[in-house]
Chains A and B, each alone.
Chain A
Amino acid sequence: MTYDVPIAPGETGDLAETTGTSGRGWPMWEVFVRARRGISHVHIGSLHAPDARTALQNARDVYTRRGEGVSVWVVPSSEISAFEPEAAAEYVEANEKVYRLATTYDIPDEVGQM
């Protein structure tokens, strides 16, 4: 099945023609789910909701319909800070201190497992 439906007369799909909500819509929340006890919460997706309680309820309905989690966190997306893409690239490239890796040290076979 293709969702790339061919362009038909009447379809412009031009976003400039829409008004959107310009901030009047509900804020976005990031959803984190702990799949089972003993492991961390993992980001699973996002959703819109007016407040935290509704966000949690929607998260349960949208992301955990089949027992995917035993615990859910929701965090306002606007509260998440992150590196800008360029800074992130530098950050990753600066991490080239290979002597930090265990595998860069040769241990003779006679010593056995280390």
Chain B
Amino acid sequence: MTPEERFDAIVAAEDKIEPSDWMPEGYRKTLIRQIAQHAHSEIIGMQPEGNWITRAPSLHRKAILMAKVQDEAGHGLYLYSAAETLGVERDQLQQLLHEGKHKYSSIFNYPTLSWADMGAIGWLVDGAAITNQVMLTRCSYGPYARAMVRICKEESFHQRQGYELLIRLCNGSEQQKAMAQDALDRWWWPSLMMFGPHDTDSPHTEQSMEWKIKRVSNDELRQQFVDMTVPQADYLGLRIPDPELRWNKRRGHYDFGEIDWEEFWNVVKGNGPMNRDRIAHKTRAWEEGAWVREAATAHADKSRSAA
């Protein structure tokens, strides 16, 4: 059996590829790019919510938000570790992110304007992330699939705390409910964009499906998310900002309107409301933390030579 035949047989048998196995160069490259983007998304994703930590309305909510942001950092670290099993250095990935050569999910290029956004992000953004990540637990690359299992467990907390936050707002004053509606109005469409272009405009999907990196297509995942979310919006008494949204009895799914693809591509290309701020902040944090990394290294060297 050639290494390639072995690889194909493992993938066909729904078994996992592990770091020491032979793999096609395209498989390795696709995974490095995807896992790195995923890791970057978690790390950049700390910023929109970090924005509200000091202004959380209670100590309880503040503690929840800090735990959630800490989880995002943890998720980023699991994922960078998974990427490193493919023979890439973490600092290389940081450099590509800082230079704008690596992307992260466009959702984090939107600003968080009100406290209700903390609810909308948990409910919609983490809800969309779960839809994708549950699929990725079945990914053919072992380290990525394992990282997803851990992450999915924690994302459930993220989504539930967000939805619960919105329940509170929707049962509160008129202004609080209006704030929740405003957050839904702003986050709905960007959340649907998180699933990426239509399958017909997604050139890599077919190969990724063949390699079992990706198990479900962008449009199918988006449909799953819409079907799951609409009843949740109804429960909150909030209106989804899509006049074309309606139940299609024949399909057994919700029909929904077309995404503004011009906006989508504009944000992907770096022209979203927050693209520049996010990278500037990330780069600054990296540079300002340099002395901590250097001091830790110096301390470790000194302890070793003293021993």
Does B21 touch A at the CB level, under 8 Å? Answer: yes
Given A1-B105, A13-B102, A20-B91: A6 touches B131 (CB 8 Å cut-off)? no
User: A65 touches which one: B22, B70, B194 (CB < 8 A)?
Assistant: B70
Do the beta carbons of B101 and A51 come within 8 Å of each other? no
- In the complex, the answer to whether A25 meets B90 with C-beta atoms within 8 Å is yes
In the complex, A81 has a CB within 8 A of chain B: no
Q: In the complex, are the beta carbons of A5 and B105 less than 8 A apart?
A: yes
On chain A, the residues within 8 Å of B107 by CB distance are 1
Interface size on B, residues (CB 8 A): 66
User: What 1/0 flags go to B93-108 for Cβ under 8 Å of A?
Assistant: 0011000111111110
On chain A, the number of residues with a Cβ less than 8 Å from chain B's Cβ atoms is 39
Q: Chain A interface (Cβ within 8 Å of chain B)?
A: 1-6, 8-15, 17-21, 25-26, 28, 45-48, 50-51, 54, 61-63, 65-66, 82, 84-85, 88-89
Residues in B with CB closer than 8 Å to A20 are 89, 91-92, 95
Chain A to chain B contacts (Cβ below 8 Å), 21 pairs:
A1-B105, A1-B107, A1-B131, A2-B218, A3-B132, A4-B208, A5-B105, A8-B268, A9-B269, A10-B101, A12-B101, A13-B101, A18-B92, A20-B92, A21-B89, A25-B89, A45-B81, A47-B81, A51-B296, A54-B300, A85-B20
B113 close to A (CB within 8 Å)? no
In the assembled complex, the Cα of A15 lies from the Cα of B97 at a distance in Å of 11
- The chain A residue sitting closest to B88, CB to CB, is A15
**For residues 64 through 84 of chain B, which have their beta carbon under 8 Å from a beta carbon of chain A?**
67, 70-71, 74, 77-78, 81, 84
Q: Are A82 and B20 in contact (CB under 8 A)?
A: yes
